C-alpha cells in the first residue's frame, strides 16, 4: 500500500486526514496506532510519514481540518451575516449532539494533559483559534456591533471555553432547551454591544 496510482499528494493528505478523524473518533488517541490510520486510508506507513511526523501531529491536523470545514459551512450558508449573527449561530449549535468527529477535541484535550507530544501542537491549534476569534471581535468592534472597550483576547478566551466545554458536557450528561439557550445567548450578545446599540431579539436580529 504505497502511493495510490493517479492520486496526488494533496489527495493523499486529505485521505489521511479523513481516516485519522474516523479512527481517532472510534478508538481514541491511545487506542489508535499509526498503522490503523494508514490502513484506513489505504496507504503505507511510509506514505503517512511523508505527510505527518507523528500520530500527535496527525490528530491535531485532523481536528483543525474538521473545525475549518464546519466554519466554512456556516460562512457559505450566509456569507454576509454580521459577526454577532455568526457568534450566535455557532453558540446555538454548542449544546447539540455532535457526530463522532465532533468529539475529536475531547481526545486532543485529554491527550494533551498526559502527552507533551500532543500538547505542543494543541497549544498551536488553540492559539490559532484564539487569534481567529479575537480578529472576529475586532471586526465586530470596527463595525459597531461590539463594544470597543471589550478585550478581544478575553472575549476570544470566553468563546474557547464555551466551545471546548460544550464538547465535554454532552447532551446525555446535561441538556438544555434550545429556545432557552438561544434566549440566553441573545442576552449575552446584547450585553457585549455598544451602549447606544439597539437591543436584539432572541434570534440576534435588531428589534
**Tens-binned pLDDT, residue by residue, of the chain (207 aa):** 445 555 688 899 999 999 999 999 889 899 999 999 999 999 999 999 999 999 999 999 998 888 777 777 766 767 778 999 988 988 999 998 887 777 888 889 999 999 999 999 999 999 999 999 999 999 999 999 999 999 999 999 999 999 999 988 989 999 999 999 999 999 999 999 998 754 444 444 544
Please tell me whether residue 20 adopts helix, strand or coil conformation.
Answer: helix
The confidence score (pLDDT) of residue 25 equals 86
Cα–Cα distance measured from residue 112 to residue 190, given in angstroms and rounded to the nearest whole number: 35
| Distant-in-sequence, close-in-space partners of 21: CB < 8 Å, separation ≥ 6 | 62, 63, 65, 66, 101, 104
At residue 129's C-alpha, the angle toward residues 72 and 49, to 5°, is: 85
Q: Smallest Cα–Cα separation from 59: which of 95, 31, 97?
A: 31
**Chain-centre distance of CA 134, in angstroms?**
15
Neighbours of 96 (CB within 10 A): 14
The confidence score (pLDDT) of residue 73 equals 74
Neighbours of 114 (CB within 10 A): 11
Please tell me whether residue 206 adopts helix, strand or coil conformation.
Answer: strand
The confidence score (pLDDT) of residue 197 equals 54
Q: Which domains can be identified in the chain, with CATH numbers? A: 1-52 (1.10.10.60), 55-207 (1.10.357.10)
Q: Smallest Cα–Cα separation from 191: which of 88, 73, 42, 95?
A: 88
The confidence score (pLDDT) of residue 201 equals 46
Dihedral angle computed from the Cα positions of residues 123, 92, 25 and 108, in that order, rounded to the nearest 10 degrees: 10
Cα–Cα distance measured from residue 176 to residue 96, given in angstroms and rounded to the nearest whole number: 9
Residue 7 has which C-alpha cell? 492520486
Cα–Cα distance measured from residue 103 to residue 106, given in angstroms and rounded to the nearest whole number: 5
The confidence score (pLDDT) of residue 78 equals 73
Amino acid at each position: 500500500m504505497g502511493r495510490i496510482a493517479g492520486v496526488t499528494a494533496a489527495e493523499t493528505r486529505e485521505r489521511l486526514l479523513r481516516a485519522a478523524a474516523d479512527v481517532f473518533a472510534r478508538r481514541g488517541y491511545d487506542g489508535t496506532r499509526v498503522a490503523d490510520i494508514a490502513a484506513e486510508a489505504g496507504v503505507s506507513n511510509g506514505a503517512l510519514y511523508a505527510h505527518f511526523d507523528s500520530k500527535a501531529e496527525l490528530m491535531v491536523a485532523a481536528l483543525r481540518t474538521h473545525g475549518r470545514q464546519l466554519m466554512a459551512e456556516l460562512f457559505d450558508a450566509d456569507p454576509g451575516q454580521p459577526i454577532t449573527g455568526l457568534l450566535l449561530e455557532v453558540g446555538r449549535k454548542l449544546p447539540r449532539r455532535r457526530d463522532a468527529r465532533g468529539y475529536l477535541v475531547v481526545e486532543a484535550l485529554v491527550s494533551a494533559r498526559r502527552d507533551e507530544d500532543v500538547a505542543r501542537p494543541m497549544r498551536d491549534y488553540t492559539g490559532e483559534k484564539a487569534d481567529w476569534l479575537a480578529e472576529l471581535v475586532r471586526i465586530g468592534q470596527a463595525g459597531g456591533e461590539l463594544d470597543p472597550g471589550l478585550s478581544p483576547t478575553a472575549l476570544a478566551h470566553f468563546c474557547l471555553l464555551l466551545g471546548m466545554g460544550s464538547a465535554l458536557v454532552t447532551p446525555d450528561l446535561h441538556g438544555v432547551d434550545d429556545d432557552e439557550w438561544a434566549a440566553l445567548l441573545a442576552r449575552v450578545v446584547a450585553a457585549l454591544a455598544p451602549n447606544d446599540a439597539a437591543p436584539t431579539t432572541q434570534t440576534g436580529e435588531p428589534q
